[in-house]
Amino acid sequence: MKFPIRLSARRKAVALSGATTLVVAGLITLPATMAHAAPGCDITYTTNDWSEGAGTGGFTGTVVVKNTGDALTNWTLKFAFPGGQTFTQGWSATWSASGANVTATALDWNKNLATGASTSLGFNGRWTGSNPKPTAFTLNGVTCTTGGVTPSPSTSASPSASPSASASPSASPSSSPSASPSSSPSASPSASSSPIPGVKVDNPYVGATGYVNPNWRSKAIAEPGGSRVANTSTGVWLDRIAAIAGSSTTMGLRAHLDEALVQDAANGSAALTIQFVIYNLPGRDCSALASNGELGVDELPRYKSEYIDPIAAIMADSKYRNLRIVAVIEIDSLPNLVTNLNVAKCATMNSNGGYVKGVGYALNKLGAISNVYNYIDSGHHGWLGWDTNFGPTAVKLKEAATAEGSTVNNVHGFITNTANYSALVEPYINISGTIGGQPVRQAKWIDWNYYADELSFAQAFRNRLVQEGFNSNIGMLIDTSRNGWGNCVQTPCQSIQTTRPTAASTSTVLDTYINQSRIDRRIHLGNWCNQAGAGMGERPTAAPQSGIDAYVWIKPPGESDGSSSLIPNDEGKGFDRMCDPTYTGNERNGNSLSGALPNAPISGQWFSAQFQQLMANAYPPLS
Ligand code: BGC
């Protein structure tokens, strides 16, 4: 993923409006047929756990609350952790915790629960030793069944748990009237793997397992230690017309979908989400060279008829209707039309409408399919985090979403950080703070950006997109496949420092403070190719934070971003010096070294040394 960051926006800090966190992860389902008597509830409680070594770790919990009794106009859910777990933060409810006792109260938009209706809540927590499930839940003081089973009374949650304790959520119910579930009739994520025909679920990642690409898996598992990650769901890139049919060695679109049916049949009652990257615009990768594609700048007609149309025809095959197909739309394209019009090819793609029309066409065709979920690429904080780029990109995305007969209803959400390395969270950088009397934004690394990390950027950009006219229930994805930045245990590392900071620096010199405190240890935020020192990031996780549909691995770890020297090829791929470790840079990366690994093959090809490095430097570490 390339991108030309905007440099030196030397202007006064103006607080961004609309940064309030919105709540979108929850969803409500309408009842099918329901026999009922007042009161009653049923709970489905699932977790996604990860280990951080030494018998501790974190987890994301999903609680689907189903009202099996009379209609409710408000509700309070209580449960207790049985194994010493602690609550950190939650969404889609107002959460509080006191010791083991956890309380969630309804927000405005999900307080009405009709008979048979469900709502999905989420939270993050920590575990030590193991992570046993709570066995007893109450809703408005009434004991719930779990998965239809009545719990033993001795283990019931303490209804007297103090609701006053701290762990208050970031979600602000009153600030999110826009997250009205009425705009998003959704199937229950846990109820069935078959969405109601013609109705998309609010978050296609909830209640689903992720498709494991056998092609990527076999490369990953062949690497020493690769079995630790080989079963991770990664994006399937349709990066040329021939990728649709596949070859004797690479599965085509139908082969992947057929395999997805097999994996769906084997995963119990969960749904299955399969992610395709739609990546073949005319004049692709206009500001860089490493991922130039097969279609010339004027080949929009071929893009439509030889690429999008056949993809849409296959995805629309009714035998795939129960799969949740995520389409990640055209990496880097639209942001390039905002920030890189000084590059001739980008100016051409802007004036001939190739990108805007191509994206509009793809959204319209794919969005019409009832089980396809479109997420448009929207750069990353190190590209669009300045206000000269932030708002104009939202405007450009809307223009594309409404081109070629498309409407915003074809857009399920957006993705940030695709194939990039930006840290998910910078816990020791307060973007609006000061160090030694100087604003943090003035630091060389930050360069007046309004964001220091992807999570804050993605959440704020989501709000800006809603303001622009996208639906209020859109969700964001963040590619975390290579933004882990654990300790750099495998050389080469970046020059700044080799250990992941575990505390804020004590320096009062701004640049020293930032450089010692930052998780992202690139030489410059503008570096994007095969970064030395990077590690795999958060494993794919559904609904990890407010407004975020999932952390995903779209760039398959181990696939190169570009060759470190010129390698002739028949894919249209060029040689971009940002992939050459000896390159001393340009104005887009502050004339810094590229930070790229040596001996890289062309983009998309397997790069074993990079895969090994990404595993060694993973954060959370691989167990
Ligand atoms: C390449 C594609 C490849 C993708 C995933 C891109 O940079 O241009 O050919 O499929 O990365 O690795």
The 10s digit of each residue's pLDDT in 156-212 is: 333 333 323 333 333 332 332 232 322 232 333 333 344 445 579 999 999 999 999
Q: Is residue 172 situated within a structural domain?
A: no
pLDDT tens-digit map of 555-576: 999 999 999 999 999 999 999 9
Ligand 1 center to 349 CA (angstroms): 20
Structural domain total, the chain? 2
Tokens 């066409």 label which residue? 361
Q: How far apart are the first and last CA of the chain?
A: 28
Nearest to 555 by CA among 224, 226, 232: 232
Closest residue (by CA) to atom 2 of ligand 1? 604
Strands (E), 436-504: 438-439, 475-479
290 and 329 part of one domain: yes
Specify whether the CB–CB gap between 551 and 544 falls below 8 A. Answer: yes
Residue 172, pLDDT score: 30
Q: Is residue 292 situated within a structural domain?
A: yes
211 and 151 part of one domain: no
Ligand 1 center to 143 CA (angstroms): 51
For the residues 218-236, what does the mean pLDDT come to?
Answer: 98
154 and 197 part of one domain: no
Going by pLDDT thresholds of 50, 70 and 90, the confidence category of residue 91 is: low
274 and 140 part of one domain: no
Residue 124, pLDDT score: 74
Q: Is residue 31 situated within a structural domain?
A: no
d(CA 59, CA 49): 4
Tell me: cis bond preceding 151? Omega within 30 of 0 counts. Answer: no
Going by pLDDT thresholds of 50, 70 and 90, the confidence category of residue 6 is: very low
Ligand 1 center to 620 CA (angstroms): 25
Q: What residues form DSSP beta bridges with 413?
A: 375, 475
- Percent of the chain, pLDDT > 70? 85
Closest residue (by CA) to atom 9 of ligand 1? 604
Residue 111, pLDDT score: 85
For the residues 491-500, what does the mean pLDDT come to?
Answer: 87
Q: Is residue 13 situated within a structural domain?
A: no
Q: What are phi and psi of 384, to 5 degrees?
A: -115, 10
In the set 520, 561, 576, 580, the catalytic residue is 561
pLDDT greater than 80 at residue 151: no
211 and 360 part of one domain: yes
Closest residue (by CA) to atom 5 of ligand 1? 604
Q: Which amino acid is at 261?
A: L
Closest residue (by CA) to atom 12 of ligand 1? 604
Q: Kindly report the CATH number assigned to the domain that includes residue 114.
A: 2.60.40.290
297 and 446 part of one domain: yes
Residue 195, pLDDT score: 43
pLDDT greater than 60 at residue 401: yes
Nearest to 29 by CA among 164, 120, 100: 120
Residue 54, pLDDT score: 82
Hey, which of 1, 213, 237, 307 would you mutate to test ligand 1's pocket, going by the most ligand atoms within 8 Å of its Cβ? 237
201 and 106 part of one domain: no
Ligand 1 center to 560 CA (angstroms): 7
140 and 208 part of one domain: no
Ligand 1 center to 605 CA (angstroms): 8
Residue 152, pLDDT score: 64
Closest residue (by CA) to atom 8 of ligand 1? 291
159 and 197 part of one domain: no
Ligand 1 atom nearest the C-alpha of 561 is: 7
For the residues 145-152, what does the mean pLDDT come to?
Answer: 80
pLDDT tens-digit map of 423-472: 999 999 999 999 999 999 999 999 999 999 999 999 999 999 999 999 99
**Which three-class secondary structure state does DSSP give residue 394?**
helix
- pTM equals 0.72
**Which three-class secondary structure state does DSSP give residue 236?**
strand
Going by pLDDT thresholds of 50, 70 and 90, the confidence category of residue 582 is: very high
Question: Is residue 561 among the annotated active site residues?
Answer: yes
467 and 355 part of one domain: yes
**Which three-class secondary structure state does DSSP give residue 560?**
coil
CA angle (453 as vertex; 447, 455 as ends), nearest 5: 150
Q: Is residue 175 situated within a structural domain?
A: no
Hey, which of 239, 280, 563 would you mutate to test ligand 1's pocket, going by the most ligand atoms within 8 Å of its Cβ? 239
pLDDT greater than 80 at residue 413: yes
Q: Which domain holds residue 146?
A: 41-163
Q: What are the helix (H) ranges across 82-241?
A: 214-221
d(CA 231, CA 235): 13
Residue 90: C-alpha distances to residues 60, 102, 105 (Å): 9, 11, 11
Q: What residues form DSSP beta bridges with 123?
A: 61, 90
Q: Kindly report the CATH number assigned to the domain that includes residue 511.
A: 3.20.20.40
214 and 339 part of one domain: yes
Of 60-64, 89-93, 297-301, the least confident: 89-93
Specify whether the CB–CB gap between 320 and 265 falls below 8 A. Answer: no
Ligand 1 atom nearest the C-alpha of 560 is: 12
Q: Is residue 171 situated within a structural domain?
A: no
Q: Is residue 184 situated within a structural domain?
A: no
For the residues 295-312, what does the mean pLDDT come to?
Answer: 98
d(CA 68, CA 35): 8
In the set 332, 377, 453, 479, the catalytic residue is 332
Of 24-28, 101-105, 221-225, the least confident: 24-28
pLDDT tens-digit map of 241-268: 999 999 999 999 999 999 999 999 999 9
Ligand 1 center to 234 CA (angstroms): 13
Q: Is residue 179 situated within a structural domain?
A: no
Pocket of ligand 1 from Cβ distances under 6 Å = 237, 239, 291, 555-556, 559, 561, 603-604
pLDDT tens-digit map of 276-288: 999 999 999 999 9
- Report strand pairing: 548-552 vs 475-479: parallel
If phi > 0 it is left, if psi is from -120 to 50 it is alpha, else beta; for residue 369 that is beta
- Percent of the chain, pLDDT > 90? 74
159 and 199 part of one domain: no
